[in-house]
Amino acid sequence: MVDTKVILSGITLDNPVIPASGTFGFGYEFAELYDINCLGSFSFKGTTKDARFGNPTPRIAECKSGMINSVGLQNPGIEKVISEELPKLKKCFNKKVIANISGFSVDEYVYCCEKIDKQEQVGIIEVNVSCPNVHNGGMSFGTSEKNVSDVTRAVKKVTTKPVYIKLSPNVTDIVSIAKACEDAGADGISLINTLVGMRIDLNRKKPVIAQKAGGFSGDAIFPVALSMVYKVADAVKIPIIGMGGVSSADDVIEMMMAGATAVQVGAANLVNPYVCKEIIEKLPERMEKYNIKNLKEIIGVAHNG
C-alpha cells in the first residue's frame, strides 16, 4: 500500500495533484464531470480587485506540444468571488482551496489578499506576480527582486494564511527572485508561470493573438519548469509547488524529485478535463513501478546524487 499524502504548509493533502489557476475555473464547472474532492486541492481562477473582461479576441493559439493564451485575467472581481463563486464551490468541494490573487499595484494585492484571507474555504493564498506594475511603467512585479519583496511583505502584513508567490520564468535569474520572496516572508513558491510565445497566421500575415504574444504552456515547457524547480529547491528552504507542462503521473513524480512538495496541472486540463482525476488514479501504480512507498520521501531526492 502506497501513501500519496503530502503536507503543504501544515495542510495535509490526500495527494499532490492540484489543477492550476486559469485552467479549472472556480471548480464547480468540473464538478459536473467528476467528484473533484479526489483532488489534493485546486487553485481557482486568477482574481483581481475589480472585474475584468480580459484581453481582446482572438486570445488563444494552438502550437506544437502546447498552446498560447492571452486571456488577460478575466474574472468577476474579488467581491463577487467571495459572495457568489465561493458559495457555489462549497456545495461541491469540501477541502481547502488555493486562492490565486493578481493585482496591478501593491495596494490592490493587499486589498484582495486581506479580503480572501478571511474566507474559511481558503487554505493557501497564491500571489501571482506576473502582472504589470502600473506604477512602474508596466514592468511585471515578478521581474524585480525589489518588487516581489515589496508585494510579499505587504501581503504578509494583512494575512494569517500561508502565502505562496507564483513566479514568472521570464527573468534572468529565477533563483534570486525566489530568494527575495523567501527573505521577505513568503511561506512558499509556485513555479513556473507561462513562458512567452506567439504564432503568425500565414494567410492573414499577422499574429494569431490580438495582443501579438501570450503565455506559452503545455507539454513542451516541462523540461524548463523542471530545471527551474530544481534550481530554486537548491536555494530556498520553503516549500515549492511545481508546475509547467505536467500531464502525467510520471511528470508529477519527476517534479517532486526535483524538489516540489505538490504539483499543479495546467494546460492539460484544457485538452482533457479528466486529466487530474486520471493522474491521481494512476499515481499509486507508478509509485509501485518506481518502488516508492511514500511520496513525502521523494521530495528533492534528485539533489542527493
> CATH code at 163?
3.20.20.70
Residue 202, domain member (yes or no): no
Within-domain flag for 206: no
Count of domains forming the chain: 1
Spatial CB neighbours of 233, under 8 Å, sequence gap ≥ 6: 240, 258, 259, 260, 300, 303
pLDDT for 269: 97
Task: Read off the pLDDT of each residue in 56-62 and give the average, rounded to a whole number.
Answer: 93
Could you identify the residue written with the cell 518506481? Answer: 290
Question: Is the Cβ–Cβ distance between 46 and 68 less than 8 Å?
Answer: no
**7-29 pLDDT tens trace:** 999 999 999 999 999 999 999 99
For the residues 43-64, what does the mean pLDDT come to? 93
Q: What H or E segment, with its residue span, contains residue 90?
A: helix 86-90
> What integer pLDDT is reported at residue 87 of this predicted model?
97
d(CA 83, CA 289): 45
Query: What element of type H or E holds 215?
Result: strand 214-217
Active site residues: 131
* Residue 63 lies inside a defined structural domain of this protein: no
For residue 282, what pLDDT is reported? 98
pLDDT higher than 90, residue 108: yes
Mean pLDDT of 71-95: 96
250 half-sphere exposure, CB direction, 13 A CA radius: 4
262 belongs to a structural domain? yes
- Return mean pLDDT, the chain: 95
pLDDT score at 138:
46
Please report whether residue 68 resides in a domain: no
Backbone angles phi, psi at 237, to 5 degrees: -105, -10
User: What type of residue sits at position 182?
Assistant: E
Domain region containing 220: 6-55+73-197+216-304
Q: In whole angstroms, what is the distance from residue 162 CA to residue 190 CA?
A: 12
Identify the residue whose cell numbers are 511561506: 187
pLDDT confidence band for 140 (50 / 70 / 90): confident
Task: Indicate whether 135 pLDDT > 80.
Answer: no
Percent of the chain with pLDDT over 70: 97
Residues 246 and 267: their CA atoms lie apart, in Å, by: 8
In a domain, 210, yes or no: no
Task: Report the alpha-carbon distance of residue 47 to residue 131 in Å, rounded.
Answer: 12
The single residue listed with the C-alpha cell 493564498 is 125
The per-residue pLDDT for range 252-302, each reduced to its tens digit, is 999 999 999 999 999 999 999 999 999 999 999 999 999 999 999 999 999
> Which residues are paired to 65 by β-bridges?
none
Helix (H) or strand (E) holding 148: helix 145-157
**45, 21 contact by CB (below 8 A):** yes
Quote the CA–CA distance of 136 and 140 in Å, as a whole number: 9
Gap between the Cα atoms of 234 and 15, Å rounded: 23
- CA pair distance 126, 21, nearest whole angstrom: 9
DSSP 56: P
